[in-house]
Amino acid sequence: MYAAAFSYHRAASLQEAVKLLQDLGDDARIIAGGQSLIPLMKMRMTRPAALIDINFIPGLSEIQNSKGELRFGALARHADIEDSSVASAIPIVHDCATGIADVQVRNQGTIGGSLAEADPSGDWGTALLALDTTVVCFGPGGRHTVPFEAFIKDAYTTVLAHDEIVTAVHVKMPPKGSGGAHLAFKRSAPVYPTVSASVQLTLEDHNTCKDVRVILGCVGLTAIRAKEAEAAVRGKSLSEKNIQAASEAARAAAEPQSDMRGSAEYKRALVATLVKRAIAIAARRARGEHAEAGHEYVGR
């Protein structure tokens, strides 16, 4: 399996990368970790005429806790985030990083690349929507930021212009009393989840949900924010009945398609269950309890 011929360009700076994008035209693509792009090229499902490698641009891999934000350089590898004590300040981020594909992909794949790829099944696209996330981009006009809610427009489509690049991802630290969980069902290690769900909620008085976000992954053209599910618990107690209502609302909000991962109807059932479980885990974490969350696999 060989990709169709392409030219390779190594950018030394963001400015150079942008210039290369402009010079090389629409058939040029940025390569970061390459974990989606290279397999697609080898299958010849995509045929960029040129690749612009940004891996050698300095300063794009840092993971920092700064000014109430976790700041991830676009080239931060999933495995670096998984292992980062800084990143573990937001448990949902750790949940997400730990279960992305397999070890090889996590060692190579990047958070920026994952967001720019905008795969509807991508874990980051789901988990980061549950938080206040800002995408930092660089283009001909310099640096600018885009709220993550506005970043992904459609499946495999972002607001980035051809000559713009993701340089960092900033995630606001959730307030005290907030907890989150990212859950996903996967068949085996290297594949995308069948369904994923992220919940971040803030409690007051131990069991009243002051604020919440419920995000569904793999069940639409983009990650879906299930606002009806949020409404079912926001400002209310996290009673079994209210959680059940949120779970049912999430089931209704999902727009899954049948494929080898499962039938649409089954995926809806998974959505309902994952949301219910994610709310429960998020609530326990919000209360400061330890609770495991992450990816679950067939068989074990």
Partner 1 sequence: MASKSVAKKLKRKTSRGPSANGAQAAPAKWVGQPIRRKEENRLVSGRGIFVDDEKMPGMLHIKFVRSSYPHAKIARLDVSQAEKFPGVVCTLTGAEIKKQVQPFIEIGPGGAQKIADYPMAVGKVVFQGEPVAAVVAETRLAAEDAAELVEVDYEPLQPVVTAENALKDESLLHPAMGTNRNWHGVFTYGDVEKAMKQAAHAVHIGRLHFHRFSSTPLECNVIIATWDPRSGDIEYHCNNTFPSFASQFLSPALGVRIDQIHMKSFDIGGGFGIKITSYPYMAVCALASRKARGRAVKWVETRIEHMQASAHGNERTFLDTRVALDKNGVVLAIDSKHVDDCGAFPRYEPLGCVIWAQVLPATYRVKNIRIDMHQVVTNKCPVGPNRGYSRMQHLWFMERILDICGQTLGIPADEMRLRNYIRKNEMPYKTPNGCVYDSGDYANMLSTAKKLIGWDDWKKKQAAARKEGRWIGLGIGSTLDSGTNNFGQARIINPDAPFSGQSKVGIVKLDIYGEVVVSMGSVPQGQGHETTAAQVVADALSITPDLVNVRPGFDTAHNAYTGHTGTYASQFAVTGLTAIHGAAMKLRKELSRLAAWKLQAKEKDLEFGVGAQGPEVRVSGTQKSINYWALANLVNVNNAGMPESLWDITLNCRHVFHANFQIPDVKRKYGNLTLTYAAQIHTAVVEVDRETFQPKILAYACVDDCGKAVNPRIVEGQVHGAAAHGIGAALLEDCAYDSDGNLLTATFSDYTPITAVNMPELLYAHTESPSPFTLNGAKGMGEGGAAPVHTICSALQDALYPTGVIIDDSHNTGDSLFRAVQKAETGGYAGMVQVEHRRPSR
Q: What does the binding site for partner 1 look like in residue numbers (CB under 8 A)?
A: 1-2, 4-5, 43-44, 102, 185, 187-192, 194, 260-263, 265-266, 269-270, 272-274, 276, 296-300
Local structure of 43: helix, strand or coil: coil
Residue whose CB is less far from partner 1, 124 or 185: 185
Q: Name residue, tokens 């040129």.
A: 50
Minimum distance of partner 1 from residue 278's CB (angstroms): 13
Minimum distance of partner 1 from residue 254's CB (angstroms): 14
Q: How far apart are CA 299 and CA 267, in angstroms?
A: 18
Contact partners, residue 53, CB within 8 Å, separation at least 6? 8, 9, 10, 11, 31
Residue whose CB is less far from partner 1, 136 or 271: 271
Minimum distance of partner 1 from residue 125's CB (angstroms): 18
Minimum distance of partner 1 from residue 297's CB (angstroms): 5
Residue whose CB is less far from partner 1, 63 or 274: 274
Q: How far apart are CA 59 and CA 210, in angstroms?
A: 38
Residue whose CB is less far from partner 1, 17 or 279: 279
Minimum distance of partner 1 from residue 39's CB (angstroms): 9
Residue whose CB is less far from partner 1, 103 or 150: 103
Task: Tell me if 130 sits within 8 A of 182, measured CB to CB.
Answer: yes
Minimum distance of partner 1 from residue 15's CB (angstroms): 33
Structure tokens at 98: 């730990």
Residue whose CB is less far from partner 1, 39 or 142: 39
Task: Tell me if 227 sits within 8 A of 217, measured CB to CB.
Answer: no
Cα-flanking dihedrals φ and ψ of residue 20, to 5°?
-60, -40
Sign of CA dihedral 67, 69, 75, 81: positive
Residue among 5, 103, 20, 107 at smallest CA distance from 57: 20
Q: Which residues pair with 134 in a beta bridge?
A: 147, 170
Residue whose CB is less far from partner 1, 23 or 265: 265
Residue among 165, 100, 93, 98 at smallest CA distance from 135: 165
Minimum distance of partner 1 from residue 65's CB (angstroms): 30
Q: How far apart are CA 99 and CA 114, in angstroms?
A: 14
